[in-house]
Structure 1
């Protein structure tokens, strides 16, 4: 049993595809398939079900997967222990971010790379719910996310931004003559919002549920700028970060009251702390640059 066989098996299991796994490990697909077949022959059981369009774990594969991950983690830990003793920082950090934000994460990563050029950095985009799950299962070391009204107890975080969530309408909309709108009155209007799984949407849904109604979502888009553009064309009331609602000439901002809504973006990581020295160094830089 070879480490590369375990690595290929874990990668195929995570990607659900031999093709994507081969691209990720930079090996030709036949080579990945051959190594996993050798592993299966050694164990005497098939680990992967190849009959469907997506590769799936067999029951035996599901039982083997955590041990394969543990073996790879143990080897990586041994290498990192040597690196720490010799003063060399290398390895890999995986970072996530929500699709649209105003945090200078690229600047932070660039400065980290300048200080630690031997560390490989990967960056993934997604909604907050997906990124939180990736933090929990170890696929990400840190991420810029919105944690909603109740932060998960298994994650620690630094608050990076904190601002009001506002409503915004076209300048000729019937609500454009008002400075504010009670939350309860939003039930009367078609809303334009980020999709479920995002921080602003979580705050909106939770507040409306407490007020006894479900918001009437007419349009969803993953980019706040798109929400603003739709509202500017008169298609509904957009739910936006306050700064965006107030900085567009085609929109009239409305402060949401009774209750007001606020949203935070945070840099989050697993409560147990980053495992690798590289991830710990990245967290240290995030603490310094985000002011904690």
Structure 2
């Protein structure tokens, strides 16, 4: 059974004859008759009574006509959905996301919902390493990754950059009259997440120190921001570096300073090569909410 045969069957039934059906379909009458005969042989039942001057549906034809129309309607809907998927207006976008900062992610998803309302976004929260691996394997269509580095087979598009902050003991002497730099903190133990816990951010900080000609003095590992800030307030002198996710914290005996010489970049990581239609929609939404994307 072919969709074309069902279409010819429905058209003959609606027009009441093979000749008028052929005119409507803009084909020769013999082609219509041949395809309907093939459909009848395939189904094993006659669809039309051809014994009189007028073509009439048989009982089987009357029963199967609404089913044939339903199949054609479903096929037409399938074609329309496929066209929307090809244009990026429909389908599923599997997106790896990051925490914060602010409402950037919410604005991005809201923009995407407005521009492509039929596109179903499935956000996935994974570690940075797992997000990169999932894009490489095809389990994710794209991922936002903070402090990402080039990876074979993947393309990194700049999405946005955020400032980094140093949390130091409030009584720690700091240079006055200028912004705070990493070199100002080189002698103070740094509470930094281990490389096993967050390799991308760990390497970002260590490499930034090395560009200044110094090595960070590593202290106890960063755990959570709250626990780490509490340890800085209560323990021996130390400091940590972090990015804003839910607003800058206020902790007694801890001072927060913006670093002048270091930011962290969030990249949209996609498979190398032409983007899929859904990813194209994501890129357009990202351009509208973060105009420097790809810069």
> What's the TM-score, normalizing by structure 2?
0.55
Q: Distance between the aligned counterparts of 1:233 and 1:219, measured in 2? A: 16
Distance 1:203 1:136, change over 3 A: same
Matches within 5 A, 1:47-196: 82-84=82-84, 89-148=89-148, 151-152=150-151, 154-163=154-163, 165-172=164-171, 174-175=172-173, 183=182, 186=185, 188-196=187-195
Equivalent residue in structure 1 for 2:239, among 231, 237, 240: 237
Q: Is the 8 A contact 2:158 2:267 kept in 1?
A: yes
Q: Is the 8 A contact 2:165 2:243 kept in 1?
A: yes
Q: Is the 8 A contact 2:88 2:116 kept in 1?
A: no
- Bigger Rg, structure 1 or 2: 2
Residue in 2 that maps onto 1:219: 221
Equivalent residue in structure 2 for 1:253, among 247, 251, 256: 256
Q: Is the 8 A contact 1:208 1:215 kept in 2?
A: no
Q: Distance between the aligned counterparts of 1:266 and 1:248, measured in 2? A: 29
Q: Is the 8 A contact 1:193 1:219 kept in 2?
A: yes
Is 1:201 equivalent to 2:196 in the alignment? no
Q: Is the 8 A contact 1:94 1:123 kept in 2?
A: yes
> What's the TM-score, normalizing by structure 1?
0.55
Q: Which stretches in structure 1 are left out of the alignment for 5+ residues?
A: 1-77
Deviation, 1:218, is 0.6
Q: Distance between the aligned counterparts of 1:283 and 1:151, measured in 2? A: 19
- Alignment partner of 2:120: what SS? strand
Q: How many residues align?
A: 208
Deviation, 1:206, is 1.6
Deviation, 1:129, is 3.2
Q: Which stretches in structure 2 are left out of the alignment for 5+ residues?
A: 1-77
Deviation, 1:237, is 0.4
Higher relative CO (Cα under 8 Å, sequence separation at least 6) belongs to 2
Q: Is the 8 A contact 2:147 2:201 kept in 1?
A: no
Q: Distance between the aligned counterparts of 1:166 and 1:184, measured in 2? A: 14
Aligned-residue Cα RMSD (Å) equals: 3.9
